[in-house]
Structure 1
Amino acid sequence: MPREAPYLAVADALSARILAGEWGAGERLPSRARLAEEYGVGRNVTQRAVDHLIVKGLLEGRAGSGTFVCVPRERLLMVRSRHRERRGDTPTLVGVEERGRAGAWDTQSQVRVPAPEAIAERLAIGTGGLCVRTHYEFLADGHPVQLSDSWEPMAITGGTPVVLPEAGPLAGKGVVARMRSIGVEVETVVEVPRPARATQEQANLLGIGVGDLVLRIERTLYDTGGRPVETADMVIPDARREVAYEFGIDRRQLPVPRGHFSRPTPDDGR
């Protein structure tokens, strides 16, 4: 059998001590130099061991302060629902209240940004096609809860009053309303969620550790002709948010059971 890598052995030992309560939630661990001396290994080994436990979510590094045992955080529900937005209902799903909802955001837009290859493919434009790129940082109770990078082709919005998502007459009203104001009807939204690990930049902005698990959602909006009009990459920290999807049902298209000829009443839909 192959011998376990030294850093994994140190990581297992540290994990056991944390779970045994030697260091409580929020407490600082000894320095890496001290741990290296204690375990008789090099500092690079303890560094890799600590990094391993940060990725697993047991530890967190704080710039200039050291390494600390993670404080458990409640995962709050985030509902993804175009159906709900159209109804204007309160944010609930199956009786569960969505708390910690983003109530503010910071944005920064850049115009005439060449689309990278992956973005150009999603927007069905040539690589380097000019776009408006808008970076969002969403906040709940003053804390960052979501990042988003949105791309809109300037071939659609260029020269119109709504070229900037967060400026002009429809600032902050959303893609659907802005596009409708220039004669573009958004009909379809496609979201592709994928698990990922936080980059250094994402970790800094979200207040999480590098390598922490995040949910990355690729969202693309299409008009009635199937043309992509906006695409975005959203990043949500897994430790703080549980994402749920809600879908509305068009009851006009529901089949009528054989032998039953009455139309469904507004209270049907169980």
Structure 2
Amino acid sequence: MPSEVPPYQQISDDLRRRVTEGEWGPGERLPSRAQLALAYGVGANVLQRAQERLITEGLLEGRAGSGTYVRTPTERSRMVRTRHGERRGDSPFRADLRERGRTGSWESNSYVRTPAPEHVAARLGIAPGELTVRTCYEFLVDGRPAQLAESWEPMAVTGGTPVLMPEFGPLAGRGVVERMASIGVVVDFAVEVPRPGRATADQANLLGISTGDLVTLVERTYFDPDGRAVETADIVIPDTLWEIAYEFPVERR
């Protein structure tokens, strides 16, 4: 191999070749790092960096206290994001899955009177520190982790109403659009900004994936007809499990 190629890259390229040629099959454990480091004649840190490169690529996965394994390919499902979901009398997440014969559920925790961080305040068009209701979600599909979300709603919009807490009260779990409509707030449009990212340790633990795995980060904000933001959320979707499709109407003359 060319001498200018760093040792860890030479090793990762060779490990990739060995996996591709079937020396270790899907789900099979690789030799220990100490064994591989000895075989390649390098230090443990170099071998670790080589494996981390392949973990980031999705070829290998590390299991705490167990070792490094060839990742078993998983079938990606399609997650359709559409405003049609807001008109089905249920949570858009749950309604979309039900139409595909699958079950959607979630766990959540809400925190009232949470001062808005600067980046959240900018998205909501309020002053930093203004009070919000912050809700953290773990969404499940057929009982397995599927996505995470962190939502903020200005208390200036929902304070003193029956829908102050998104997951409590008469419209618990019905989605932002229906809850806001019940207090006379019309949600006219939403803006979503998707970005690629890597799972943090906390996100990976909740989603059942590996730290550093590819995820799609979706920054979503709902607006009323005057352009006032009434809710914003950060959504984390594991790329290994879901592909995202956007469905939107086409205006006709």
After TM superposition, the score normalised by the length of structure 2 is: 0.92
**Number of residue pairs matched?**
248
Quick one: structure 1 residues 100 and 149, their matched pair in 2 at CA, closer, same or farther if it must change by over 3 Å?
Answer: farther
Q: How far off its partner does 1:145 sit?
A: 0.8
The question of whether the paired residues in 1 share the 8 Å contact of 2:186 and 2:225 is answered with: yes
The question of whether the paired residues in 2 share the 8 Å contact of 1:78 and 1:101 is answered with: no
After TM superposition, the score normalised by the length of structure 1 is: 0.86
Paired residue type of 2:183: I
Quick one: structure 1 residues 98 and 170, their matched pair in 2 at CA, closer, same or farther if it must change by over 3 Å?
Answer: closer
Q: How does 1:79-228 map to 2 (within 5 A)?
A: 79-86=80-87, 91=96, 99=100, 101=102, 103-228=104-229
Q: How far off its partner does 1:218 sit?
A: 0.6
Q: What is the distance in 2 between the residues matched to 1:29 and 1:12? A: 15
Q: How far off its partner does 1:110 sit?
A: 0.9
* Higher mean C-alpha deviation, range 228-237 or range 75-84: 75-84
Q: Percent identity?
A: 62
Quick one: structure 1 residues 233 and 102, their matched pair in 2 at CA, closer, same or farther if it must change by over 3 Å?
Answer: farther
The question of whether the paired residues in 2 share the 8 Å contact of 1:54 and 1:61 is answered with: yes
Q: What is the distance in 2 between the residues matched to 1:144 and 1:8? A: 33
Q: What is the distance in 1 between the residues matched to 2:103 and 2:176? A: 18
Residue in structure 2 matched with residue 52 of structure 1 by the alignment: 53
* Higher mean C-alpha deviation, range 68-77 or range 178-187: 178-187
Quick one: structure 1 residues 246 and 114, their matched pair in 2 at CA, closer, same or farther if it must change by over 3 Å?
Answer: same
Residue in structure 2 matched with residue 266 of structure 1 by the alignment: none
Deviations 1:83-127 (A, max 9, x none): 2442679859xxxx9758551111111111121111110000111
Q: Secondary structure at the match of 2:149?
A: strand
RMSD, aligned CA = 2.1
Q: What is the distance in 1 between the residues matched to 2:209 and 2:194? A: 20
Paired residue type of 1:227: R
Which structure 1 segments of 5+ residues have no match?
Answer: 256-270
Quick one: structure 1 residues 200 and 183, their matched pair in 2 at CA, closer, same or farther if it must change by over 3 Å?
Answer: same
Q: What is the distance in 1 between the residues matched to 2:181 and 2:212? A: 40
Quick one: structure 1 residues 2 and 122, their matched pair in 2 at CA, closer, same or farther if it must change by over 3 Å?
Answer: farther
Q: What is the distance in 2 between the residues matched to 1:65 and 1:204? A: 16
Deviations 1:207-231 (A, max 9, x none): 1111111111110000121100000
Quick one: structure 1 residues 17 and 100, their matched pair in 2 at CA, closer, same or farther if it must change by over 3 Å?
Answer: farther
Q: How does 1:34-53 map to 2 (within 5 A)?
A: 34-53=35-54
Quick one: structure 1 residues 99 and 24, their matched pair in 2 at CA, closer, same or farther if it must change by over 3 Å?
Answer: farther
Hey, which bits of structure 1, 4+ residues long, moved more than 3 A?
A: 87-92, 97-102
Which structure 2 segments of 5+ residues have no match?
Answer: none
